[in-house]
Structure 1
Amino acid sequence: MLKNKKGLPQFLTVAVIITILINIVIYFVSQSNYKQIDYSEFLTMVNNKQIESVEIDSDRLVITPKNEDNASALNKKLYYTGNLDYPQLVDKLYNADIKFTTPVKNTRLPIISFLLSWILPFALFYFLGNFLMKSMGNKLGGGAMSFGKSNAKVYVEKTTGVSFKDVAGQEEAKESLKEIVDFLHKPERYTKIGAKLPKGALLVGPPGTGKTLLAKAVAGEAKVPFFSLSGSGFVEMFVGVGASRVRDLFSQAEKQAPCIIFIDEIDAIGKSRDGNIGGNDEREQTLNQLLAEMDGFDSSKGVVILAATNRPEVLDKALLRPGRFDRRVIVDKPDLKGRENILKVHSKNIIMDESVKLNDIALATAGAVGADLANMVNEAALRAVRMGRDKVKQEDLFEAVETIIAGKEKKDRVMSENEKNIVAFHEVGHALASALQKKTQPVHKITIVPRTMGALGYTMQMPEEEKYLMTKEEILEQIVVLLAGRAAEDLVFNEVTTGASNDIERATSLARQMVTMYGMSDKFGMIGLESIQNRYLDGRPVRNCSDEISAEVDREVINIINKAYEKAKELLKSNMEALGKISSHLIFKETIMGEEFMEILNSVQNKELANA
């Protein structure tokens, strides 16, 4: 019943004491209804016929008086007096018409009495105490008497099941961590020259890039125990519990050295203490204990601390200094080759058709992280099963990409003919603006089938190669593409709709970044007017200028947007025949691919050249 055998003697002692106290209370309560009287007073009551019954025991007489004022049986007062062996007592009671008896001794009664008064209370207390301790253990983690115990999950070599082969797209991060693995395997190679094992490595990157997977891979490769827990697992409602858990964690780790401690989301306890008025005392005590433990343990024993966060800017400076976390390993979004390798890792157990080209999928998923790509491969496999196939085709993978980006096709939404026409011209406007400019990405697909994430249609562009830089001209042309949908609505229907809201938001964001961050404004030049906060999360910009400059920035952004919108209208005006013909074809088919789009555009342009 009780898992903590060390606390069993204390528990039994407390149970016995409480059982004795219960019996003492029961005895005094039972004796409270008895009152001792003199034998002479007893005889007087017999003569006055005030007694209902008498129980004659070997050493005393228990007297039950007649009811007074209709007193209940529970509230009736009993009397007792010593037994003087009065010879005529029986005759006297009989003549007074008083009931009398002598209790018959039952050999079973002492056993039953012992069970009821001692064993039953002890058993009840034992089960009740055990239930309460289990309940508190479920709520507080680890049992009522283990507030300060570490609740880290301990993995050993065979249970992590992850190696560096299972991690793709993060070659630089793996290279940094392989050295730690090698040190744990062959420490003499490094100690011979005087090198020391890094005490810790901080894994930094956006969510879903594989920081936890990398940490497990390090433990799997090193074949050492792996302590894994979250930063929030240290902090409890009781002050001092977190610090106690840190001490216990490092104590366990040193006993199992060499080993690896992995603290996920370390920003939960490692936030900066600078200017933190009225902060969380429990969190700060936990952080102080963690700093002390990282300074105190001997790295030669082979205890390595790995931590992961996507908010490195909020961490305390004392935590990041050399001697604690000696290395910062960046686990960033993968590039083209990295995405292709990740797709290969996640598709190795999926039956793929021979026509599948993972490079094309990698090109179409710029900005995706490992978790996104794993989800896309799984969605493609599910779609193949739904379609009744036993292999995943290229179309399944592209549909999975679109499902993750824009949601599933909403086939039950029926648009009116007018709305369908507006959406078709809107999307073809985007596609034409992309095809008619030099530094834009080629069109891969145009569709007017609504999606569950709110899109009534969309134009998908596919880059020909991975790019890490964008020129000013490329950004301006991209803004033109974004605004061309609204321009098509305005030119064809002489009215505008709410369908361009997301396009306007993205175009405005690009224009503002040109002015405030990229130094691409003729008016402001190379001045940083905004900076990125939480780079690995939402990447929201923070203003670094006065209100007057901010107002000027707004006017410059408006100027860029207006010029791009006018250019979009000019491009479409000079290609109205292509706009109409492609839109009609799109309305009929609802979805057309990039090759089909370019065939129609080229045929129209060739016809115009022939007539010119």
Structure 2
Amino acid sequence: MPDDPPLIQSLRTAVAAAPADVPLRLHLAQLLLEADRSDEAVTEAAVALQHAPGDAQARALMARAMGAPPLSPPAEHPRPRTGFDWKAAEDQVGDAVPPRFAATPVRADGLDDSADADAWDVEDPGTVRLADVGGMQDVKDRMDAAFLAPLRNPELCKLYGKSLRGGLLLYGPPGCGKTFIARAVAGELGAAFLSVSVNDVLDMWIGNSERNMHEVFETARRQAPCVVFLDELDALGAKRSRTAHSGMRNVVNQLLSELDGIDSAANEGVFVLAATNVPWDVDNALRRPGRLDRTILVLPPDGPAREAILRYHLRDRPIENVDLGKLVKITDGLSGADLAHVCEAAAERALLDSVRTGTVRMIGMKDLLAAANETVPSAEPWFASARNVAMFANEGGMYDDLVTYLKKRRKL
């Protein structure tokens, strides 16, 4: 880290060059502990234990860093990973990866002034790609066919007269990674990422909400190539028949106006993605050709995706004897947010047990199984509502994918 003292920086470099050198890593952990950086000391001690499970010095140092009595010798060789960070675990609950930079207007008057800094924070998705989305191959294949392939081959599109106009709508139950997928698309395109929700746009003063919506797209044009991600589209673009006497009707009109110009020269390099849990509440005009006319259903994670999510949320926690394959099987139907909760609940069980007994222990399979059995799939209420839509409001085959899934899972 840039702010590390020189000695700690040197030790970090040495440890990176010789990761299996336990004494060297423990020396680094000791210095971190003396500098009141207990979380980092726990991480280094846990990695040392991974290389030397029975090392008494490592176990004692880890216990000191965690503010607990020394760890008792293990009955069998554990496989601890790294220290765990409760704040990070709390932040991870939600859609697979929540937006790190919420778009927030900085000008109260809502006026567009290109000489000023952009009024909306634009995120660089960095190296995130669709390959980083665990499992969900069908979603990725459809995303590539419906959206990415044409954008990667503009000359072929021109040859065949294929328009690049229009956007993409992701829908499905909450907590299944729609935001992360949208960010991965931005990474695939090498584009900036601008995430917008109704709270970012709505303003109490007449006319300001519409100006804010316009400024979103003006910012995207200045930052092109840029993916504009409209989160909770059912709030930003609710059916105007239900908003006749509210200011949201004008916001929807403004959004329609911005989308209509998405293929103009001024909008080159601006790509629009949107997400919603309730597409049947979105104004029909938003889904006409040239707007958000392509739709992809994002469902609870499949087996490979669940494995990737569980690995992600367990990677920085001290675990032992975990049968990941068994855990993947019994968590079928859980969303990404549910799986994050399972890992946190298991860590909480181990922590409370360590406090109660006075002996720090690792997170085991028993903790994870108990947490999984206590977790109710959060997507079930969504499927209960979606079932009625699939049965009675599937006009033009709009929800055929949903019907297929419900029949396969015997929910229809």
Please tell me whether residue 155 in structure 1 is matched to residue 126 in structure 2: no
Q: Secondary structure at the match of 1:307?
A: strand
The answer to whether 1:237 aligns with 2:204 is yes
- Among residues 158, 171, 177, which one is paired with 1:210 in the alignment? 177
| Alpha-carbon displacement from aligned partner over 1:317-359 (angstroms, at most 9, x marks no partner) | 1111121012111111234444334323433444543x42223
3-state DSSP of counterpart to 2:260: helix
Aligned AA (2:201) = F
After superposition, the Cα gap between the structure-2 partners of 1:540 and 1:200, relative to the gap in structure 1 and judged at 3 Å, is closer
- Encode CA deviations 1:189-238: one digit per residue, 9 max, x unaligned: 43343323252111101110111111111112322111111033222112
SS of residue in 1 equivalent to 2:170: strand
Inter-partner Cα distance in structure 2 for 1:299 and 1:176: 26
In structure 1, runs of 5+ residues without a counterpart are 1-139, 407-531, 545-612
- TM-score, with structure 2 as normaliser: 0.58
Structure ID, larger Rg: 1
Whichever structure has more strand as a proportion of its residues is: 1
Structure 1 residue 316, shift from structure 2 partner: 0.9
| Map 1:12-411 → 2, pairs under 5 A | 141-146=105-110, 152-158=120-126, 162-179=128-145, 180-274=147-241, 276=242, 278-280=244-246, 282-298=247-263, 301-350=268-317, 352-353=319-320, 355-386=321-352, 387=354, 391-405=362-376
How far apart, CA to CA, are the structure 1 residues paired with 2:350 and 2:141?
37
Partners of 2:159 and 2:313 lie apart in 1 by: 41
TM-score by length of 1: 0.40
Alpha-carbon distance in structure 2 between the residues aligned to 1:389 and 1:396: 14
Distance 1:237 1:537 in 2: 35
Q: Distance in 2 between matches of 1:379 and 1:189?
A: 51
Deviates more, 1:205-214 or 1:217-226: 217-226
SS at match of 1:154: coil
Query: What residue identity is the alignment partner of 2:323?
Result: K
Task: Confirm or deny: 8 A CA contact 1:272 1:317 kept in the other structure.
Answer: yes
Kindly indicate whether structure 1 or structure 2 has the higher relative contact order, using CA contacts under 8 Å at least 6 residues apart.
2
SS in 2 for 1:220: helix
Distance 1:308 1:151, change over 3 A: farther
Deviates more, 1:374-383 or 1:144-153: 144-153
Flag the 1:187–1:259 CA change in 2: closer, same or farther, 3 A. farther
Output the amino acid matched with 2:224. Answer: A
Q: Helix, strand or coil: the match of 2:169?
A: strand
Structure 2 spans left out of the alignment, 5+ residues: 1-103, 392-412
One-letter amino acid of the counterpart of residue 167, structure 1: V
Contact 1:333–1:369 (8 Å) recurs in 2: yes
Q: Once the 2 structures are TM-superposed, how far is the Cα of residue 255 of structure 1 from its aligned partner?
A: 2.4
Q: Deviations over 1:461-501 (max 9, x none)?
A: xxxxxxxxxxxxxxxxxxxxxxxxxxxxxxxxxxxxxxxxx
**Match of 2:10?**
none
Is the CA contact (8 Å cut-off) linking 1:178 and 1:218 kept in structure 2? no
CA separation of 1:286/1:378 partners in 2, compared to 1, >3 Å: closer, same or farther? same
Q: Distance in 2 between matches of 1:348 and 1:183?
A: 37
The residue identity in structure 1 corresponding to 2:140 is K
Aligned-residue identity in percent: 36
Q: 1: CA distance between counterparts of 2:155 and 2:137?
A: 26
- Structure 2 vs 1, CA of residues 303 and 277 (structure 1 numbering), >3 Å: closer, same or farther? closer
Do the aligned residues in 2 keep the contact of 1:242 with 1:286 (CA within 8 Å)? yes
- TM-superposition CA deviations, 1:40-89 (whole Å, max 9, x none): xxxxxxxxxxxxxxxxxxxxxxxxxxxxxxxxxxxxxxxxxxxxxxxxxx
Q: Is the 8 A contact 1:198 1:326 kept in 2?
A: no
Change in CA separation of 1:188 and 1:156 when aligned onto 2, cut-off 3 Å: farther
Contact 1:164-1:221 at 8 Å conserved across structures: yes
Provide the rounded CA distance (Å) in 2 between the counterparts of 1:404 and 1:176. Answer: 31
Secondary structure of 1:324's partner? Answer: coil
Distance 1:347 1:184, change over 3 A: farther
The amino acid of 1:268's aligned partner reads A
**How has the CA–CA distance of structure 1 residues 405 and 313 changed in structure 2, closer, same or farther, with 3 Å as cutoff?**
closer
Structure 1 residues 332, 338: closer, same or farther in 2, change over 3 A? same
> In structure 2, what residue type is equivalent to 1:262?
F
The structure-2 alpha-carbon separation of the partners of 1:151 and 1:171, relative to structure 1 and needing over 3 Å to count, comes to farther
Q: 1:347 to 1:303 in 2, by over 3 A?
A: same
Question: Residues of 1 paired with 2:205 and 2:138: CA distance?
Answer: 41
Q: 1:277 to 1:225 in 2, by over 3 A?
A: closer
Whole-angstrom CA distance in 2 between matches of 1:148 and 1:170: 40
Distance 2:314 2:177 in 1: 17
Question: Which runs of structure 2 are paired with 1:428-577 in the superposition (5 Å)?
Answer: 535=382
Q: Using the alignment, how far apart are the partners of 2:287 and 2:244 within structure 1?
A: 23
The 3-state SS of whatever aligns with 2:240 is coil
